[in-house]
Structure 1
Amino acid sequence: MGSKGFLNTFIIVLTSTLVFYGFSSVGALAFTNVSSKDFGDQTFVGPFDISRQKEQAVKEKLAADFITLQTDFAVDLTYQDITVALPAEVVTFDVEKTVEQSNSGKENPIVATVSVDGLRTILTQQFSSILFSEDSLQSIATGIERELGTGIMPLTIHITDYSDFTEIEIATSSIAVTEPSTSLTNLINALNGTEITSFATFSLFDFIKNNEIGVVSDEELTVLASVLYATILQTNFVIDERNIGSMLAPLAEPGFEAAVNEQLGLNFVFTNPNKTAFQLHVQSANGTIVSSITGMPLLYSYSPFVGQLESFEPKTVQQFSAFVPNGQVSVADEGRKGMEVEVHRTISYEGSVVVDEMISSDFYAPMPKIELHPLKKDSQQIPGNSNDGTVNSQDNQNSADSQNGLESNVDKDPSQLQGEDEIEVQYDKGGNIIE
């Protein structure tokens, strides 16, 4: 009887244990099924495809992918005209949060965390002239985290997108001008305050056309373009088109002329390569046109200067006319000196020159001086020997050669001249013989 009671008790305890274990297992399985995610088709995390995978498999995959992403880390931080690399150690990619925030059938961002302390060190060292507030640092860190969500490398992040900086005058220049016409005044007024947006290209012709300025002479447009050109050279803006004339414009400085000719299609065009916008200011007063550019400060300083200026004397061309009295010389054209000017620009950082670059080499050809001489020589002159060093005819030359005991080469077979001494004549850029 005692054995039977023990057996019944054992059976009851065993049954209860099995029932309890069964319910516990079912509950745990149900909880696991509820908490685990199944990702369907077209599900991505950054560039990584996690379609048709369960949560645990996704975590294992992303852990490996994030290690590769950290190894191939290539992120640049750009502030206006300076770009520096962001060290990978400043950034952490979070697998758990990424999976937790991911939704099936969608493109999901990678969850990245940027160390504000590390970012502060990088920005302070690399952009020492810029003061970053704590709010700016936090805003920039958040912006970097957002852009890292794509997982695409290499990546360039413009920190000016995530912080406000005080705008200052970047560059200025001026040029003397005579009394401007009404059309030029209207053009100057329209230009004043023009915004040059990020990566935008400015064309002087297009601006005049779009604003219905009217007709402005090429001479006045050249003056305006020249002062704009001198201003642009003090920035990192890109000069897309700039021309010079056959002779230097009267009011332009050598090396800083920007000739404009609507008929020939000679335009003035430049581009803003920065992510931020700038304002162009132009004013005319007291016989001077002043242009300037304002915007977020550039870290480099740009200083254009004339590196070399060389002039060339014009050669003299002698012509003969029956209208010039014997013994006299008439100057038909005084000619003009030629010029070659080289413009360089230093790019400096915190007072130290980083590079000295060549900007342009402008050449203006000389115009020859033209003298008119009489057709007949003074009867007192010895045939073939002109007091002014010119020769009237080949007969005079032959006669002079005979008088000096020299054989004339005229009418001689060219083959007979071979072997005789030949002097190579060299000319300078002005067309004059180099002795």
Structure 2
Amino acid sequence: MRNQHGIKLFLVLMISVAYIFSFSHFGTLAYGAIVKNHDFFAEGTKIGSLSVAGKTANEALQLTDEELTKWLNETTITLKYKENNEQLDLRYFTFDLTETVQKAKNGQSNPVSVQFNSLDETLYSLSSRLNKEDIALEELEAEIMRAAQLLEIGSYQIRIEDYLLDGQSNEPQVISEFQLDSAFVENELDLFIGKTIELKATSQFSLLDYVKDEIGTVSALTLSKISTSIYEVILPTNFEMIERHISSELPEYAALGFEAKVDPELNYDLIFANGNEWSYFIEFEKVDDVFITYLKGPTLLNRYILLQEDEESFKPKTILQFNSELSPTESRVKVAGKDGQFIKIYREHRDENGAVLKKELISEDFYPPIHQIEITGLIVSTGDSTVTPGTENAEADGDPESQTGESTSIDENGEQAPPSDRDHLDSPKNDENSLWGKENEIPK
């Protein structure tokens, strides 16, 4: 009996020790598991793009707050509509990091809780004609929020055109056109009829490169007419001019301020850039012998007005060349004079309501005057008589213009111009013999 009582007591003690040991050991493990599940985030847990695996809620909140500060300082979000763009003020985003951490699910990517409060104002600043009814607003807001919910640092650009309910908004239309009068249309221009030049988005265009690749050999005159036509149609846009040339004399087919000369031998090219995010197209057509150039593409939001300012003209001088083969009262016009011209072309940017946004100088074109050259008979006074001298080396059947005895120039006031103003091409050659005079020369 006593042995049975001892055995029972031993068993009770063993069970009690085992219970206490198990409770302390497995209880600690169970408690640790429970605490870990509630206070530490599991592997694969993210808030935005930030991993918070193995972090407590307080640690995750602190890390997320630091990541948000970096995101606000280094991130830009820009909304674009046609050629306008508006950068969002990130202060209009309202973040709730506490709620984000509290609702974060273990082992998952959790978006940051955020709201944006000024979309209406931003859309109006892009265009007063943008209506929320015309936009897939929920999709646009979701795209804006996505950049903030992930807290990924970068530059985000969102085009409003991608969210317009009217899909026809970017259909090509005629933006501008130019007509080259039939008097200046030549057969070589037919090489361009039916051709379409694509001005790709955010790219440069070179006329010489295009002609080399697509057309072949073309005369400089035809290239200049094509270049002038293209220049005319792109000026009332926001395209940026990079290279342009003009002639020494304004050609008849071009208006003052709107010539664009192209010459492969002189390496004269027409180069410009389309900075828009969509393509434009240049097309050529011939109607009743009139050569028409079109610029087609999506309509521009702003208006671009060309202004012609500071136009001036410069009177030519008259250069007199004396020739003994002509009678004293006889004169001939060797080169007809032509006024010089100067003009400035400005491009004024106006918004859709007509307000001036900026004014840029496009060009300053100057064409020097062409001085008139007249040949007249030579009259020499000696005492009370007038003598008309001959020229020893003159040939009877020679060109009178090559037998010049003396030349001078007369300015626009009818006065004789100083020698420094005389055309060097028409002045007597200053060679070694001129120092001693000429044989049989009549004293002056």
Q: How many angstroms apart in 2 are the aligned matches of 1:185 and 1:291?
A: 12
What amino acid maps onto 1:332 in structure 2? K
Residue 311 of structure 1: which of 303, 310, 313 is its match? Answer: 313
Where does 1:144-293 land on structure 2 (aligned, <5 Å)?
144-145=144-145, 151-152=152-153, 155=155, 157-160=157-160, 162-163=162-163, 166-167=169-170, 169=173, 171-178=175-182, 180-190=185-195, 192=196, 194-211=197-214, 213-293=215-295
1:37 aligns with 2:40: no
Q: 1:115 to 1:285 in 2, by over 3 A?
A: farther
Q: Deviations over 1:52-95 (max 9, x none)?
A: x7344555323222134335654332333222221214435676
Residues 92 and 118 of structure 2 are in contact (CA less than 8 Å); yes or no, is this contact kept in structure 1?
yes
Residue 294 of structure 1: which of 293, 296, 315 is its match? Answer: 296
* Unmatched segments (≥5 aa) in structure 1: 103-109, 385-391, 394-423, 428-435
Shift of 1:237: 0.9
Q: How many angstroms apart in 1 are the aligned matches of 2:247 and 2:385?
A: 46
Residues 227 and 289 of structure 1 are in contact (CA less than 8 Å); yes or no, is this contact kept in structure 2?
no
Q: Deviations over 1:122-174 (max 9, x none)?
A: 21343222345575333433444555657435x35141574356125362131
Q: How many angstroms apart in 2 are the aligned matches of 1:99 and 1:376?
A: 112
What amino acid maps onto 1:320 in structure 2? F
Residues 44 and 108 of structure 2 are in contact (CA less than 8 Å); yes or no, is this contact kept in structure 1?
no
What amino acid maps onto 2:292 in structure 1? V
1:356 aligns with 2:359: yes
Q: Report what 1:419 is aligned to.
A: none
Q: How many angstroms apart in 1 are the aligned matches of 2:286 and 2:237?
A: 22
Shift of 1:376: 3.4
Q: How many angstroms apart in 2 are the aligned matches of 1:189 and 1:112?
A: 55
Q: Report what 1:129 is aligned to.
A: 129
Q: 1:77 to 1:343 in 2, by over 3 A?
A: same
Greater shift after overlay, 28-37 or 268-277? 28-37
Q: Report what 1:409 is aligned to.
A: none
For the residue of structure 2 that corresponds to 1:76, the secondary structure is strand
Residues 170 and 298 of structure 1 are in contact (CA less than 8 Å); yes or no, is this contact kept in structure 2?
no
Q: 1:10 to 1:134 in 2, by over 3 A?
A: farther
Q: How many angstroms apart in 1 are the aligned matches of 2:120 and 2:361?
A: 36
- Taking structure 1 as the reference length, the TM-score comes to 0.70
What amino acid maps onto 1:184 in structure 2? L
Where does 1:315-354 land on structure 2 (aligned, <5 Å)?
315-349=317-351, 350-354=353-357
Where does 1:45-84 land on structure 2 (aligned, <5 Å)?
54-56=54-56, 57=59, 60-70=62-72, 74-84=76-86
- Taking structure 2 as the reference length, the TM-score comes to 0.69
What amino acid maps onto 1:176 in structure 2? L
Deviation >6 Å, runs of 4+: 8-15, 43-46, 378-384, 424-427
For the residue of structure 2 that corresponds to 1:310, the secondary structure is strand
Q: How many angstroms apart in 1 are the aligned matches of 2:192 and 2:108?
A: 55
Q: Deviations over 1:322-354 (max 9, x none)?
A: 322222111111121110111122211112222
Residues 78 and 156 of structure 1 are in contact (CA less than 8 Å); yes or no, is this contact kept in structure 2?
no
For the residue of structure 2 that corresponds to 1:54, the secondary structure is coil
Quick one: percent identity of the two aligned structures?
Answer: 22
Shift of 1:255: 0.8
Q: 1:87 to 1:325 in 2, by over 3 A?
A: same
* RMSD of equivalent CA atoms: 4.3
Shift of 1:314: 0.7
Shift of 1:233: 1.4
Q: Report what 2:138 is aligned to.
A: 138
Q: How many angstroms apart in 1 are the aligned matches of 2:187 and 2:329?
A: 53
Residue 368 of structure 2: which of 359, 365, 368 is its match? Answer: 365
Shift of 1:202: 1.0
For the residue of structure 2 that corresponds to 1:189, the secondary structure is coil
Q: How many angstroms apart in 2 are the aligned matches of 1:113 and 1:25?
A: 36
* Unmatched segments (≥5 aa) in structure 2: 1-7, 388-404, 407-417, 422-444
Greater shift after overlay, 88-97 or 197-206? 88-97
Q: How many angstroms apart in 1 are the aligned matches of 2:105 and 2:241?
A: 45
Greater shift after overlay, 65-74 or 301-310? 65-74
Shift of 1:360: 1.2
Shift of 1:358: 2.0
Greater shift after overlay, 9-18 or 332-341? 9-18
Q: How many angstroms apart in 1 are the aligned matches of 2:303 and 2:137?
A: 25
Q: Deviations over 1:341-380 (max 9, x none)?
A: 1112221111222223322110000111001122334789
Greater shift after overlay, 86-95 or 282-291? 86-95
Q: How many angstroms apart in 2 are the aligned matches of 1:132 and 1:185?
A: 48
Residues 177 and 288 of structure 1 are in contact (CA less than 8 Å); yes or no, is this contact kept in structure 2?
yes
Q: How many angstroms apart in 2 are the aligned matches of 1:372 and 1:136?
A: 79
Q: How many residues align?
A: 371
Q: How many angstroms apart in 1 are the aligned matches of 2:112 and 2:312?
A: 60
Greater shift after overlay, 240-249 or 218-227? 218-227
Q: Deviations over 1:259-300 (max 9, x none)?
A: 111110111111111222223333222233333333333222
Q: How many angstroms apart in 2 are the aligned matches of 1:100 and 1:170?
A: 56
Residues 173 and 231 of structure 1 are in contact (CA less than 8 Å); yes or no, is this contact kept in structure 2?
yes
Q: 1:284 to 1:373 in 2, by over 3 A?
A: same
Q: How many angstroms apart in 2 are the aligned matches of 1:101 and 1:296?
A: 44
